[in-house]
Amino acid sequence: MTMRRLLIANRGEIAARIIRTCHRLGIETVLAASEADLNSIPARMADQTICIGPAKSAASYLNVDLVVAAAVEAGADAIHPGYGFLSENVLLATRCRESGILFIGPTEAQLDGIGDKLKARGHAVAAGLPVVPGGTIDAVEDAREMAEKIGWPVLVKAVSGGGGRGMKPVHDPAKLKETIEMAMAEASAAFGDGRVYLERFVASGRHVEVQLLGDGKTILHLGTRDCSVQRRYQKLVEEAPAPDLSDKVRAAMHQAAVDFGRHMEYCGLGTVEFLVDCKSGEFFFLEMNARIQVEHPVTEAITGLDLVAEQIAVAEGWPLRIDQSDIGFSGHAIECRINAEDWTRDFRPSPGTVAAAVFPAGDGIRVDTHVERGVQVPPYYDSLLAKVIVHGKDRPDAIERMRAALANCCIEGVATNVAMHSALFESPEFTKGGIDTSFFPSFLQR
């Protein structure tokens, strides 16, 4: 079918970004917004805005029935969930099907098989991918036995959810029980699912992912991204392609991701995430995200593709419009997440009113944002204000462009992490490339 009207079940910069592509494609947009976002930039950009409830996410953006009812009321052909919120929610996909509305994402079975990390791990094994040693635990005694088997230290991981919640390393066997209980409580509160499992903790590892695009039959990879600059498993900087990987490892990672996609008969955009052991050079499957990623602009920059447009085409039932030989990789791209946080005070959230907002512009610079002077930054949601993306002829050129872009980025009225990013891009270790996930915490302590 050809999409005529699409409801966006999200907010902030991703809502604005989806609206831009829809308008280019001639698709009408309806924004499902909470009371806190009725006067937002995405609300002004959309052709129509429907209030779906109070500011708190549980009563609006996370309420499946309200989102679907808004789509039905608006006469929408489809729902795009963006990332976060309901983007990987099986119930939303089911309600869409029952209501005759397209869900912009993979099938219900694929969401179920990927959203549960244990099921995803099982699919990875079935597809022939390497996985970090570990497995399920039913009791603390099981965990102790498994930890001894796979080797210390270990990582306790929540079966559901993401963003680092319910994920805790354990170095001291005496703290295993306490850590498992903490992880279970955190996962239960965040995702309504307290199940956890154990994996060997890789002390020196890089977070590298491969972007996939599939139509259920054909699976393409769109290259690698490196997301190793993290704080408490939250990504801050992403770049494409991942630097300092050998051609052999990169090709093997591409193939592993495609194999996983083929095994799942994947339909839509998805990202297969890997952990690269810096000591051994081995890589392991971590998980798959069955949605568009925050960091998708760096892949768009080096491939020239509009990933939202490709998502929509697949959802409409079209076979992929490109094949692997059509995909080329040009230069190097880097993205910085600009958040409303006081990074000098342990990244404390900084809601408030934006008194001024000046963003960089120019050749090789892209800014995805939903803020301007006078915009309220509410305390209810993720603190992301903008993404600054640069594209250069190579990584050194991209780093220089990002330094200049950050120098021309000014947001007043709320605290931000712009200065932190500027300091990071002066770091010799980051400039060299190939840092692991332990780098950023040590960088903050300097």
Interior/surface letters 341-355, b for 16+ CB within 10 angstroms, e for the rest:
bebeeebebbeeebe
Q: Respond yes or no: is residue 321 known to be catalytic.
A: no
Using omega within 30 degrees of 0 as the cis cutoff, is the peptide bond preceding 241 cis?
yes
Distance, C-alpha 344 to centroid of its chain: 25
If you search the block for the tokens 């006081």, which residue do you land on? Answer: 342
Interior/surface letters 98-107, b for 16+ CB within 10 angstroms, e for the rest:
eeebbbbbbb
The angle subtended at Cα 172 by Cα 166 and Cα 175, nearest 5°, is 55
If you search the block for the tokens 């929610």, which residue do you land on? Answer: 89
Count CB atoms within 10 A of the CB of residue 432. 11
What is the rounded radius of gyration, in angstroms, for the C-alpha atoms of the chain?
21
Strands, E assignment, 282-438: 283-289, 332-339, 341-342, 348-349, 352-353, 356-358, 365-369, 376-377, 384-392, 410-412
- The structure tokens listed for 12 are 């902030």
Question: Helices (H), strands (E): how many in the chain?
Answer: 15, 23
Using omega within 30 degrees of 0 as the cis cutoff, is the peptide bond preceding 243 cis?
no
Amino acid at 43: A
Residues 28 and 185: their CA atoms lie apart, in Å, by 42
Catalytic residue, candidates 291, 337, 366, 395: 291
CB distance 413 to 353 below 8 Å: yes
Distance, C-alpha 305 to centroid of its chain: 18
Q: Give catalytic residue positions.
A: 291
